[in-house]
Amino acid sequence: MPAAIPVTVTAAAEKFMRRMVRFSEAPAGGLRLTVTPGGCSGLSSAFTVEPAPLDGDAELDINGLRLFLPAQSRLLLAGVTVDFADSPTQSGLTFLDPNQAACGCGSAGASAPERPAQATVSLDTLRRVAKA
């Protein structure tokens, strides 16, 4: 039975995830999303396509799309909206946390506390793993 996880996935993020799974070597599998503390906005993340959830993963059903979430990711994604951004400067999953203050470092311009924090997963991090 799919787990009830308080995370929202936008239609754009769902479409991106479906494409990743469909064009992988495990089209009947699901997308495993790992989120960890870190990065400028407070979250760092990575994803892989897996044929089945790994031990300890919860499975979230998003309109038939299987999303596998490790325990720590489930905790960090509570209340977060997962979106997909595709612009000339950014392409990948974006995480909007209404409870996290925006980045306040000087490298990203002025801090805007009223904006939600964001973290992205770059498409450049995708790689095909060779079979043994």
Q: Distance between CA 121 and CA 45 in Å, rounded? A: 6
pLDDT digits (tens, 9 = 90+) for 84-110: 988 888 788 888 887 766 555 543 333
Least confident residue range of 31-40, 57-66, 107-116:
107-116
Q: Are 60 and 69 in contact (CB under 8 A)?
A: yes
pLDDT for res 26: 92
Work out the percent of the chain whose per-residue pLDDT is above 70: 67
pTM greater than the 0.85 cutoff: no
For residues 113 and 42, the model is more confident at 42
Of 95, 93, 14, 120, nearest to 61 (Cα)?
Answer: 14
- Rounded to the nearest integer, the mean pLDDT of the chain is 77
b/e per residue 41-77 (b: at least 16 CB within 10 A): bbbbbebbbbeebeeebbbbebeebbbbbbeebbebb
Domains of the chain (ranges, CATH numbers):
8-122 (2.60.300.12)
Q: Are 17 and 31 in contact (CB under 8 A)?
A: yes
pLDDT band at 12 (very low <50, low <70, confident <90, very high): very high
Pairing of β 30-37 and β 65-69: parallel
